[in-house]
DNA sequence: TCTGGGGTCCTTTGACCC
DNA sequence: TCTGGGGTCAAAGGACCC
């Protein structure tokens, strides 16, 4: 029972090496091996590496070619997203049975608001056990007074971690850690902080908010100051509306021929609209993204009068944008996006407003987590 | 040896309107 | 009439996350 009305108990649950673990479930002989899930092709990157592979320095977002050099004996697997989605649905059904407020983040992570539970730690222990039993997956859990503490705590001792921290404990435990440990502080911000002499979370906490405001803007400065003290106040938001959808592709070799580029773009537009109309979504803003051989990236957008999910319309607009832009260098990546999903979707018969199309859980929720 | 694909959100700038 | 302030929208870029 919360001491103060405002006190919350938030958990963050994160599956350990999700894609690799799913692969190991269907091929148990992989257990204990260095396994890397990565795309194929010369420009593929690693999506997940098993902990054995990580020991060789292999990590997410690393070029697959580099991973191969670091760990030639690793078993490389192509990702099977359909399977991961299916397992994710089972997983989230179990998570949702544990408490009412759940915020799903990607396929393998969720925040749970446990404030109303009498024994939140026990509930999470049970949830972890049930997930292991039903899916074969191991998870790491962090519990704290807000999402920020919960997230950092779940990361702290993975795999199979279970870390409970108060805000003050988090401040002490991570005082000497670099600012990038905090979600929301990425490499760019970390570099700029270093230029200010800020190397640790403690340094950041001791930096005057005025100085941070000067350097990063008032808003961001205030945000950084709060983060440094682990007093993030974000809600566990049940389900957020989808805002945009896109298709993009990095070519194996850079493309210069306008006709080839146009063909690729039109195909992506039609493919995107296929899935859009299946979901009953449509949008007014069509944009393209062009990444050149020097990795510079340009976007161009145009808003049309009526929401659409018509492949020919979107392809037309996209091709128009591409022709107006006329890339001056070879193109590495091309993409198309539809945004501005809104109130009056012209799409399918059903509900117009689009708060996250609910995918009916295939897995029974009958097997629940003991009430208590 | 360069750097995927799916997203979200924020900031800045300029146009336009009141 | 001039100037300025605000609000909103669209576009573009960028940081970040899984």
Greatest extent of chain A over all pairs of C-alpha atoms, in Å: 66
Pairing type for strands A297-308 and A283-292 reads: antiparallel
What is the nearest nucleotide to A296, using C1' and CA? C13
Lowest mean pLDDT among A220-229, A304-313, A342-351: A342-351
- For residue A362, pLDDT over 50 is answered with no
Average pLDDT of A17-41? Answer: 95
The pLDDT score that the predictor gives to residue A226 is 94
How many CB atoms are located within 10 Å of the residue A28 CB?
Answer: 9
d(CA A127, CA A109): 13
d(CA A50, CA A87): 18
d(CA A28, CA A325): 51
Q: Which nucleotides of C are covered by protein (CB under 7 A)?
A: 9-18
Tokens representing A234?
């974000």
d(CA A301, CA A24): 43
- In this complex, the answer to whether residue A108 has its CB under 7 A from any atom of chain C, a nucleic strand, is yes
- In which band, very low, low, confident or very high, does the pLDDT at A219 lie, cut at 50, 70 and 90? confident
The pLDDT score that the predictor gives to residue A353 is 36
Q: Match 């009953």 to its residue by tokens.
A: A280
Q: Is A312 a catalytic residue?
A: no
- For residue A1, pLDDT over 80 is answered with no
**Of A23, A33, A109, A356, catalytic:** A109
Strand order in the sheet with A10-15: A101-105, A109-113, A10-15, A139-144, A162-164
- In which band, very low, low, confident or very high, does the pLDDT at A6 lie, cut at 50, 70 and 90? confident
CA angle A188, A192, A193 (to 5 degrees): 115
Q: A130, A369 in Cβ contact below 8 A?
A: yes
What is the nearest nucleotide to A109, using C1' and CA? C18
Name A45's bridge partners.
Answer: A63
Task: Express each pLDDT in A167-216 by its tens digit.
Answer: 999 999 999 999 999 999 998 899 999 999 999 999 999 999 999 988 89
């Amino acid at each position: 029972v919360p001491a103060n009305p405002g006190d919350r108990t938030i958990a963050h649950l994160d599956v350990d090496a999700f894609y690799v673990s799913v692969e190991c479930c269907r091929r148990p002989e992989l257990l204990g091996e260095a396994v890397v899930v990565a795309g194929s092709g010369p420009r593929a990157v690693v999506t997940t590496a098993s902990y054995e592979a990580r020991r060789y320095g292999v990590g997410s977002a690393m070029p697959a070619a580099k991973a191969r050099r670091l760990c030639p004996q690793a078993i490389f697997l192509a990702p099977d997203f359909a399977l991961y989605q299916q397992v994710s649905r089972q997983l989230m059904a179990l998570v949702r049975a544990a408490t009412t407020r759940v915020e799903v983040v990607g396929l393998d992570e969720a925040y749970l608001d446990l404030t109303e539970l009498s024994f939140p730690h026990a509930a999470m222990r049970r949830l972890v056990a049930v997930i292991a039993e039903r899916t074969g997956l191991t998870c790491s859990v962090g519990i704290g007074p807000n999402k920020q503490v919960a997230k950092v705590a779940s990361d702290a001792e993975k795999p199979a971690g279970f870390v409970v921290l108060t805000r003050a404990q988090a401040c002490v435990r991570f005082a000497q850690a670099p600012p990038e440990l905090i979600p929301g502080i990425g490499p760019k911000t970390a570099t700029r902080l270093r230029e200010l002499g800020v190397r640790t979370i403690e340094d950041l906490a001791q930096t005057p908010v005025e100085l941070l405001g000067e350097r990063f803007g008032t808003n961001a400065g205030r945000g950084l100051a709060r983060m440094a003290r682990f007093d993030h106040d974000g809600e566990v938001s049940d389900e957020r509306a989808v805002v945009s959808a896109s298709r993009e592709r990095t070519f194996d070799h850079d493309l210069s021929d306008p006709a080839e580029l146009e063909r690729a773009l039109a195909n992506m537009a039609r493919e995107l609209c296929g899935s859009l109309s299946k979901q009953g979504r449509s949008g007014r803003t069509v944009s393209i993204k062009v990444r050149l051989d020097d990795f510079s990236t340009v976007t161009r957008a145009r808003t049309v009068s009526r929401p659409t999910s018509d492949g020919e319309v979107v392809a037309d607009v996209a091709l128009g944008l591409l022709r107006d832009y006329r890339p001056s260098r070879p193109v590495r990546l091309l993409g198309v996006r539809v945004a501005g999903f809104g109130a009056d979707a012209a799409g399918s018969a059903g509900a117009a407003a689009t708060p996250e199309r609910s995918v009916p859980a295939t897995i029974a929720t009958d097997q629940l987590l003991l009430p208590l």
